[in-house]
Amino acid sequence: MFDPETSPAPPAEPTPPADDAPPLATGGVLRAIGQFLRETFYTLFLTAALYILLNTITARIRVEGYSMVPTLQGGEFILVYRLAYRFGRQPQRGDIVVFRPQNNGLGGDYIKRVVGLPGDEVLIQNGTVYINNQPLYEPYILERPRYNGYWKVPPGHIFVLGDNRNHSTDSHILGPIPMTRVLGKAVVVYWPPSRVRVLRPEAPPPTTHPTAALRQR
C-alpha cells in the first residue's frame, strides 16, 4: 500500500541554467563580419589614396655628398614639391631644385641652386658669377669658384650651381638643365629633427653695386 508520507517523492525535473545573453544568431555574426570587412576596406582604400596623392604632390630625397654645403648637409632628408613649376609657374633665381641629369651614368637625382634663368647670360670669371654682365651677390656659398666659363641659357632651361662651388657636378660641367628634367623644388628639411627648417630662395637679383662681388665669402 502506497504511503504518501513515507514514500520518496519522484525526482524533480532538472531546471535549465539561466542564460541572460542568448547566443547571436547566424545572421548577426555574418553582419558583424561584413561590417568589419567594410571598415577594413575603407581604411586601406583611404590610406592608399592618401599615399598616391602625397607621392603625386611631393617627393622625399636624402642629400648625398657635400656639393650643397653649407646650405645642406649629407644625410639630411628633403621634402620636394613636385608641382612647384607646373601650370605655367617658373623657377626663381635662388630656388633649390632637384633634377635628373641626362645620360647620367651614375644614376640618382641632383640637388642644386638656380643661378641662371631662360635667356640669361652666365659668366664665371675670377671667382665671381655674373648674370647679364652684373655680379651676383651670393652670401650662401662656401667659397668662390675656381673655374671660368660662359653660358647662354636657352629657353626652357635653367643654370644651376652647387653652393660648394668647387666640389659640385652642376651646370658648369653639365651645361644648362632642361626644365623637363626638373623634378621639383626643395622646400623643407624634415630630418634630422635638430635641423628641420624651411628652404627659402636666398639669391637676390644681380646687383649693379660695384663692390657686390667683394662681399661674397
Reported as half-sphere exposure (CB side, CA atoms, 13 A), residue 113 has a value of 25
Whether 111 and 72 have beta carbons less than 8 Å apart is answered as: yes
Active-site choice (112, 168, 171, 185): 112
194 part of the active site = no
Grid cell in block for residue 187: 622646400
Burial of 134 (0-12, 13-18, 19+ CB in 10 A): middle
Residue 50 falls in which region: left (phi positive, over 0), alpha (psi -120 to 50) or beta: alpha
Q: Is 112 a catalytic residue?
A: yes
Task: Give the span between the Cα atoms of 111 and 114, in whole angstroms.
Answer: 10
Cβ-proximal residues to 202 (8 Å cutoff; 6+ apart), any chain? 71, 94, 139, 140
Catalytic residues, by residue number, are 67, 112
